[in-house]
């Protein structure tokens, strides 16, 4: 029978084969997580790039529009003044001055005229320089810092104009210390330059055209920024100046002692910017960074937006006849911020999608796990049911078998009982034969006594001795009663009595048996010990059956003595209440002796029992006696009777020879009327 724990486990390979465990490998999860991370990186990179590119394109477009506007404004201003020096040079006052430079009237007229022209043209200054480089007249004559009398030979615009060409030059005024754009026109007479007319324009308004957040600057052909909306960038160069050029600038005093240092502007160079330059940026656009030394040195924050930004989209335009370069610097910070925001938004959206995806995956995994558990449970249930059915079938088969066995045993038992009853009956009949002689002898004695008593009584009656006759009649009555009892015993012994258990006085039963066996005793001495102290000692038994057992035991002892030494034959009967010894082989009967026991030992000095016969003594039909003398039923029946009483019957050989049969019975409370004592007959 398998252990019941087996029901809990699914051992059936077929059942487990049908249920496949879901694949929960952590490797797949790692792969999935890595793919998500790679996707995040790719998405962030692409989002940033696309967003930045689009922002840059938009910025470039809007900046280009503004740059075109600024350029057009500057260009139109320059165009407007381009012809003014030529006009001035044509005026008779100017010509007259150049013809007679020392004529005070002409000088005054020229000064007057120049002031008038300057005022109307909204120029900074208008003046006339003689061929020797000395200013003859100026719009600011008579004012502090007047140009009149100043030597301009070192100025390039004068040198160019003196050479017969239009001179254009941006410089800081040496007298006024104000920056300006100088337009110089040669005044010729007979193919010879006799003087130069100059108009100086203040262009500083232009550097205020751009907003503070979007730096605007104009640089000359040497790369010197002379106009800039960022004051710190003015008079700085975009390219390092060669020493020769530096020397020339010092000689022309172009920037009048200003230290012209390089602006730390460098193009942004990376694969991304190169790609953007190819795909998005126009020919005159580039991405640059302006390193701000001031900011690096500063420790406190400044709200100046121009100083906060350091990366720009630079858009260049060539402006004016001097081919200046105008650069509009659009800060990249907003575009970068937008790209950053778009990237963060995309990353967040991606993270949300990833979370949903992970959630969905987990749900799917959970569903798979649950399905697997359910299938496992179903398989276990099926297996359990199958096993329960198999066990139930087994149990039912065993049960049926047991029922059959029980029926068989019941049948065998009843057959055995019937056989036992038959045997008891047969044994009784056999014993009856043996007893017949004894009974005949027993009855013959009282009969003889009866005849003697009756004869004596008649004689006594004839003599008139009534008292003696009455005594004889009483004796006759006793004798007949005794005889009636003997025949009654015989009748009871021969019949099949119902098994009853009632108190039987041991002494009475022993007396009856000894009385029955008296004819066979001969020279054998019989002693009974242990009953004198307690004559009423009783056992729970059936009177007749107990007597039958004792009759059989004592009879067998007489037989054994007869085979050994009949002359010194001796039988000792020892009765002991509560605690007799019970050694040797017994008939295996159960006892019912809770209320105390009575042990009756029958010991003889006969042949004893051969060792090989000892274990078979209680078997039916086991006998060592000659045919016709013993049936081999006596001990079998006796042991059966004793078992019926709940007692024990055992046998052992005595050390000095002979055998001892020990009978143990349940003790019963003494009851005087249980079985009346039959006096042992004494031969008369």
Cβ proximity to ligand ADP: between 546 and 635 the closer is 635
Token reading at 18: 């049908």
Residue 195 binds ligand ADP (CB under 6 A): no
Residue 347's nearest CA partner among 35, 53, 39 is 39
CB of 569 to ligand ADP, least distance (A): 11
Which of 379, 518, 635, 641 binds ligand ADP (CB under 6 A)? It is 635
Q: SS3 of 219, please?
A: strand
Cβ proximity to ligand ADP: between 465 and 623 the closer is 623
Residue 623 binds ligand ADP (CB under 6 A): yes
Q: SS3 of 481, please?
A: helix
Which of 543, 604, 647, 667 binds ligand ADP (CB under 6 A)? It is 604
Cβ proximity to ligand ADP: between 191 and 628 the closer is 628
**What residue ranges in 535-641 does DSSP mark as E strands?**
538-541, 570-577, 585-586, 597-604
Cβ atoms 514, 573 nearer than 8 A: no
Burial (CB < 10 A; 0-12, 13-18, 19+), residue 178, is middle
Which of 56, 476, 506, 560 binds ligand ADP (CB under 6 A)? It is 560
Distance CA 348, CA 37 (A): 13
Residue 96 binds ligand ADP (CB under 6 A): no
CB of 562 to ligand ADP, least distance (A): 10
Q: What is the DSSP letter of 132?
A: T
CB of 451 to ligand ADP, least distance (A): 36
Which of 625, 669, 670, 672 binds ligand ADP (CB under 6 A)? It is 625
Which of 290, 524, 659, 664 binds ligand ADP (CB under 6 A)? It is 659
Residue 183's DSSP bridge partners are 168, 199
Number of alpha carbons in the 13 Å side-chain half-sphere of residue 132: 6
Residue 148's nearest CA partner among 131, 164, 173, 129 is 129
Cβ proximity to ligand ADP: between 95 and 603 the closer is 603
Size of the site for ligand ADP (CB under 6 A): 22
Residue 198 binds ligand ADP (CB under 6 A): no
Cβ proximity to ligand ADP: between 471 and 584 the closer is 584
Stretch that binds ligand ADP, among 10-18, 383-391, 412-420, 621-629 (CB under 6 A): 621-629
Which of 617, 641, 652, 668 binds ligand ADP (CB under 6 A)? It is 617
CB of 604 to ligand ADP, least distance (A): 5
Q: What is the DSSP letter of 679?
A: P
Stretch that binds ligand ADP, among 2-10, 99-107, 252-260, 630-638 (CB under 6 A): 630-638
Distance CA 517, CA 480 (A): 20
Token reading at 681: 């007959």
Token reading at 505: 């006085």
Cβ proximity to ligand ADP: between 306 and 662 the closer is 662
Residue 569 binds ligand ADP (CB under 6 A): no
Residue 450's DSSP bridge partners are none
The helix (run of H) or strand (run of E) holding residue 59 is: helix 26-82
Stretch that binds ligand ADP, among 87-95, 186-194, 404-412, 629-637 (CB under 6 A): 629-637
Cβ proximity to ligand ADP: between 110 and 651 the closer is 651
Cβ proximity to ligand ADP: between 74 and 636 the closer is 636
Q: SS3 of 118, please?
A: helix
Distance CA 552, CA 166 (A): 176
Please give the full DSSP string across 498-548, using - where no structure is assigned. Answer: ----EEEEHHHHHHHHHHHHHHHHTT-EEEEES-SS-TT-EEEE-HHHHHH
Distance CA 544, CA 486 (A): 12
Residue 289's DSSP bridge partners are 266, 311
Cβ contacts of 24 within 8 Å, gap of 6 or more: 365, 369
CB of 506 to ligand ADP, least distance (A): 20
CB of 510 to ligand ADP, least distance (A): 17
Residue 593 binds ligand ADP (CB under 6 A): no
Residue 173 binds ligand ADP (CB under 6 A): no
Instruction: Give me the 529-558 binding string for ligand ADP, x by CB under 6 A, dash otherwise.
Output: -----------------------x---xx-
Q: Count CB-CB contacts under 10 A for residue 150.
A: 17
Cβ contacts of 221 within 8 Å, gap of 6 or more: 322, 323, 324
Residue 624 binds ligand ADP (CB under 6 A): yes
CB of 631 to ligand ADP, least distance (A): 5
Which of 530, 569, 634, 647 binds ligand ADP (CB under 6 A)? It is 634
Residue 653 binds ligand ADP (CB under 6 A): no
Token reading at 677: 């004592």
The helix (run of H) or strand (run of E) holding residue 385 is: helix 333-463
Cβ proximity to ligand ADP: between 260 and 631 the closer is 631
Main-chain phi, psi angles of 216, to 5 degrees: -130, 135
Cβ proximity to ligand ADP: between 184 and 557 the closer is 557
Stretch that binds ligand ADP, among 108-116, 292-300, 628-636, 639-647 (CB under 6 A): 628-636
Residue 246 binds ligand ADP (CB under 6 A): no
Cβ proximity to ligand ADP: between 178 and 619 the closer is 619
Q: Measured between alpha carbons, how far is residue 683 from residues 107, 447, 449, 515 in Å?
A: 212, 12, 10, 11
Token reading at 45: 């990179």
CB of 440 to ligand ADP, least distance (A): 21
The β-bridge relationship of strands 502-505 and 311-319 is unpaired
Residue 471 binds ligand ADP (CB under 6 A): no
Which of 569, 580, 606, 646 binds ligand ADP (CB under 6 A)? It is 606
Which residues contact ligand ADP by CB under 6 A? 552, 556-557, 560, 604, 606-609, 617, 622-625, 630-636, 659
């Amino acid at each position: 029978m398998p252990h019941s724990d087996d029901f809990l486990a699914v051992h059936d390979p077929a059942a487990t084969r049908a249920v496949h465990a879901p694949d929960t490998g952590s490797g797949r999860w790692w792969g999935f997580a890595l793919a998500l991370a790679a996707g995040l990186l790719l998405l962030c990179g692409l989002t940033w790039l696309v967003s930045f590119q689009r922002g840059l394109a938009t910025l470039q477009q809007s900046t280009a529009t503004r740059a075109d506007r600024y350029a057009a404004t500057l260009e139109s201003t320059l165009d407007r003044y381009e012809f003014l020096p030529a006009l001035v040079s044509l005026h008779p006052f100017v010509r007259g001055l150049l013809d007679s430079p020392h004529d005070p009237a002409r000088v005054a007229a020229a000064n007057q005229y120049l002031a008038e022209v300057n005022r109307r043209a909204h120029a900074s200054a208008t003046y006339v320089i003689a061929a020797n480089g000395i200013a003859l007249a100026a719009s600011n004559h008579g004012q502090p810092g007047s140009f009149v009398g100043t030597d301009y030979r070192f100025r390039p615009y004068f040198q160019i104009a003196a050479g017969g060409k239009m001179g254009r030059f941006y410089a800081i005024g040496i007298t006024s210390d104000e920056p300006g754009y100088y337009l110089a026109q040669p005044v010729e007479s007979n193919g010879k330059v006799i003087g130069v007319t100059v108009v100086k324009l203040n262009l500083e308004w232009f550097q205020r055209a751009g907003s503070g957040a979007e730096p605007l600057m104009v640089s000359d052909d040497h790369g010197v920024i002379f106009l800039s909306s960022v004051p710190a960038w003015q008079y700085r160069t975009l390219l390092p100046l060669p020493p020769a050029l530096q020397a020339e600038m010092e000689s022309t005093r172009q920037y009048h002692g200003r230290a012209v240092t390089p602006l730390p502007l460098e193009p942004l160079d990376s694969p991304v910017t190169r790609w953007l330059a190819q795909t998005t940026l126009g020919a005159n656009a580039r991405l640059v960074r302006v390193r701000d030394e001031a900011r690096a040195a500063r420790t406190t924050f400044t709200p100046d937006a121009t100083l906060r930004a350091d990366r720009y989209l630079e858009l260049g335009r060539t402006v004016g006849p001097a081919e200046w370069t105008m650069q509009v610097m659009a800060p990249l910070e907003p575009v970068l911020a937008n790209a950053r925001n778009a990237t963060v938004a995309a990353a967040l959206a991606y993270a949300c999608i990833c979370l949903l995806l992970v959630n969905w995956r987990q749900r799917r995994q959970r569903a798979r796990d649950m399905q697997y558990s359910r299938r496992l449970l179903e398989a276990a249930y099926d297996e359990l049911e199958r096993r329960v059915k198999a066990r139930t079938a087994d149990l039912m088969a065993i049960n049926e078998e047991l029922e059959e066995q029980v029926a068989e045993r019941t049948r065998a038992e009843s057959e055995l009982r019937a056989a036992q009853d038959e045997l008891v009956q047969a044994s009784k009949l056999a014993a009856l034969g043996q007893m017949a002689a004894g009974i005949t002898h027993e009855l013959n004695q009282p009969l003889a006594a009866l005849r003697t008593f009756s004869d004596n009584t008649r004689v006594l009656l004839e003599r008139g001795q009534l008292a003696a006759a009455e005594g004889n009649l009483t004796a006759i009555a006793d004798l007949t009663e005794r005889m009636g009892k003997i025949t009654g015993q015989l009748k009871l012994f021969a019949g099949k009595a119902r098994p009853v258990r009632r108190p039987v006085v041991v002494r009475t039963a022993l007396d009856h048996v000894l009385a029955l066996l008296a004819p066979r005793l001969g020279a054998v001495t019989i002693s009974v010990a242990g009953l004198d102290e307690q004559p009423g000692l009783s056992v729970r038994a059936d009177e007749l059956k107990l007597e039958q057992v004792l009759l059989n035991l004592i009879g067998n002892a007489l037989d054994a003595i007869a085979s050994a030494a009949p002359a010194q034959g001796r039988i000792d009967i020892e009765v002991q209440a509560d605690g007799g010894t019970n050694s040797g082989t017994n008939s295996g009967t159960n006892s019912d002796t809770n209320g105390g026991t009575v042990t009756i030992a029958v010991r003889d000095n006969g042949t004893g029992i051969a060792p090989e016969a000892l274990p078979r003594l209680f078997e039916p039909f086991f006998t060592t006696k000659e045919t016709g003398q013993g049936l081999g039923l006596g001990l079998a029946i006796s042991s059966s009777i004793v078992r019926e009483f709940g007692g024990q019957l055992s046998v052992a050989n005595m050390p000095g020879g002979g055998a001892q049969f020990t009978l143990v019975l349940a003790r019963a409370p003494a009851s005087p009327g249980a079985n009346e004592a039959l006096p042992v007959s004494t031969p008369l």
